[in-house]
Amino acid sequence: MPVSPADTIDLARAIAVLYEDAEDALLGIVSRALAEGIDSPSWAQAKLASVGDVRHALEQVTTALQRDTSGAIGRAVEEAYRRGGQSAVAELGALAEGRRHFAAHHLPGASAVDRLARAAVDEQGPTWGRILREPLDAYRSIVARVSASTLLGGLTRRQTAQRAIDQFAARGIVSFTDVSGRRWEMASYAEMAVRSTTARAAITGHVDQLQALGQQLVIVSDAPLECPLCAPWEGEVLAINGAAGPHTLRLPHAIQPTGLRARLHGPQTVAVHIAGSLPEARAAGLFHCNCRHSLSVYLPGVTVRPESPPHPSGATYEDTQKQRYLERQVRQWKRRAAAALDEQARLAANRRVRAYQGRIRQLTADKGLQRQPTREQIGAAR
């Protein structure tokens, strides 16, 4: 059966849940600490005096998160690689039973699993300091901002604190900016990183197993509403480790004649157009995070290139990106509701949540897109 990055979404989600729970706990620690005694004249002094207690509470959450995720990431990568290998075995179901049994219980690239798992865990390393530092910095900043506005006779302490917490919640309790300048929430960033790694592990396991079984070619599926990165590779044949760039090879037919026919006509061959190599396609963006394409073995003379699947009526790739934007707005206002200091602020934030959800319902109905409620939850991948 084909292998796809989508095959490992559940593994990445399991990691993201750990981060989401931690994010909720961190936001709760900061908002509860700020709300306590907010109407007292000595509120600012009390908040500054309690910085140590807040830090201790944040450290406990961070330590637990680091302990839980380190082992979980390694297990997720190993499982993704295993799934990829098993999918290759399932694809080549016509193999002799002895070869199938060997392939089903043999992972040719255990060292690759270890490297991917170590890289995934190491990638999370720089986040730990930020997970502790950013909420504590925000706590101190909000206390200073509220104290200054009160002294100046501006907004009330509660209003100023709520506005500052809203800004904090809107960008995420901990945020990261990637090399392209995109800002990520903590759980979103972790899920994106783990999803990318597990997808890479699944595809690596798949092609490693195919090579172990003597196969060298794969073919990319055709997915609806594809992104510009993937479009050039749709339906194309790729060499697992062959030459880059498009070229045509004459290869033996996957099903060779036998008996008298074989003696009379010799080996049967077919011309196969190869768009490039798999490493080349992946370097160009194929199988990026959230990619919907799949990869399967290509058997010369047997495999049929995929037909274009039906697209949702009237929908475009840009419509899917608009849906992603609306989902981000829903998550942002849900965070604001969770961090509200009073019922009025909570109700106002929830009204905005419902408004953006209404826009999502309208868009998906008009364009024939599928609504994905899980992407509207706090911490969902962008």
Name the 3-class secondary structure at 62: helix
Q: What is the pLDDT along the chain (382 residues), one digit of tens a residue?
A: 688 877 888 888 888 888 888 888 888 888 888 888 888 888 888 888 899 999 999 889 888 888 888 888 888 888 888 888 888 888 876 544 545 555 555 555 566 777 777 777 777 666 677 777 888 888 888 888 887 775 545 567 788 888 777 777 776 667 666 666 777 777 777 778 888 888 888 898 889 888 888 889 999 988 777 788 888 998 999 999 888 899 999 998 887 776 666 566 667 889 999 999 999 999 998 988 778 888 999 999 888 887 766 666 677 888 888 998 899 889 888 888 887 888 888 899 999 999 999 999 999 988 888 898 888 887 555 4
| Domain end marker among 161, 192, 215 | 215
Is 224 found in the same domain as 145? no
Is 190 found in the same domain as 64? yes
**Cα angle 358, 224, 229; round to 5:** 105
- 242 inside domain: yes
- 83 inside domain: yes
- 199 inside domain: yes
Q: Which of 138, 282, 298, 283 lies closest to 217 in space, CA to CA?
A: 298
What is residue 175's predicted lDDT score, i.e. its pLDDT? Answer: 67
CA distances from 366 to 248, 315, 352, 359 (A): 43, 9, 21, 10
Is 84 found in the same domain as 146? yes
From CA 34, how far away is CA 362, in angstroms rounded?
38
**Cα angle 280, 277, 77; round to 5:** 70
Distance of CA 306 to the CA centre of its chain: 26
- 382 inside domain: no
Is 295 found in the same domain as 230? yes
- 111 inside domain: yes
From CA 320, how far away is CA 181, in angstroms rounded?
21
From CA 85, how far away is CA 112, in angstroms rounded?
13
Question: Which residue range is the domain that position 258 belongs to?
Answer: 216-309
Domains in the chain, number: 3
Is 287 found in the same domain as 174? no
Is 175 found in the same domain as 129? yes
DSSP-assigned states of every residue in 93-136: TTS-HHHHHHHHT--TTHHHHHHHHHHHHHHHHHHHHHHHHHHH
- 274 inside domain: yes
Is 49 found in the same domain as 36? yes
Is 50 found in the same domain as 79? yes
Is 186 found in the same domain as 37? yes
What is residue 96's predicted lDDT score, i.e. its pLDDT? Answer: 44
What radius of gyration do the chain's Cα atoms show? 26
| Domain end marker among 309, 327, 360 | 309
190-214 burial by CB neighbour count: b if 16+ within 10 A, else e?
A: bbbbbbbbbbbbbbbbbbbbbebbe
Is 69 found in the same domain as 111? yes
Is 223 found in the same domain as 196? no
- 302 inside domain: yes
| Domain end marker among 285, 309, 333 | 309
- 139 inside domain: yes
Is 148 found in the same domain as 9? yes
